Chain A
Amino acid sequence: DQQVKQNSPSLSVQEGRISILNCDYTNSMFDYFLWYKKYPAEGPTFLISISSIKDKNEDGRFTVFLNKSAKHLSLHIVPSQPGDSAVYFCAASAYRYSGGSNYKLTFGKGTLLTVNP
């Protein structure tokens, strides 16, 4: 049972355009969401996060939107750059329901983003 779903295995965009990566979840107890970026032969690195008390969080070119009623979040990258080409993982945790711990992150399968020059 996949609780965090990234239904697009890959996405290709032109440099300078917007990249939109989507993530759906099924567990209503999830209340904290993160995006990680992974280059080949490297470990994932934290990109941006959002708590369920917010519907938007922005950090430079990266914005995450959360729609709790639809159990959907998306990562927007504007403008996209070739260096953004990587696998992006969506992750979620049930922080309040785990006794205050976020260690049990549930990851999606990832979306490979390719930004073409």
Chain B
Amino acid sequence: NAGVTQTPKFRILKIGQSMTLQCAQDMNHNYMYWYRQDPGMGLKLIYYSVGAGITDKGEVPNGYNVSRSTTEDFPLRLELAAPSQTSVYFCASSYDRSTNEKLFFGSGTQLSVL
């Protein structure tokens, strides 16, 4: 059982370049999330999705876009990379939204924008 898979693990971008961070889960979870973690900081929610075709903004959505065409996949798009987007990005998923539900995280993508 792979759980939540993120690719790539590392990436260096130049300012203004674009890229897509991939995230896939094989647990048939309805809810998926993208977080970023800056050095010495907690995780901040970028976007989330409650099911295929439904996405919404989190705490720090500026500079990012998402789509959810299938239950399994939730890619995060950076259109014009900026140094402020240098961070570690985590994708997560959960089955439901009960009080006992917990998030399952991928191993992260380390992104540097130079």
Contact = CB atoms under 8 A, between A and B. Distances in A.
Interface of A: 4, 9, 32, 34, 36, 41-46, 49, 51, 89, 91, 95, 100-110
Interface of B: 4, 6, 31, 33, 35, 40-45, 48, 50, 58-59, 90, 92, 94, 97-108
Given A43-B107, A45-B105, A91-B42, 8 more contacts: A43-B106, A49-B100, A101-B50, A102-B101, A103-B31, A104-B58, A105-B45, A109-B42
B99 A32 contact: yes
Contacts of A95: 99
Given A101-B97, A103-B48, A103-B97, A34 B105 contact: no
B40 to A, nearest CB: 6
A106 B42 CA distance: 8
Contacts of B6: 43
Nearest to A104: B45
Contact of A46 (B4, B35, B102, B108): B102
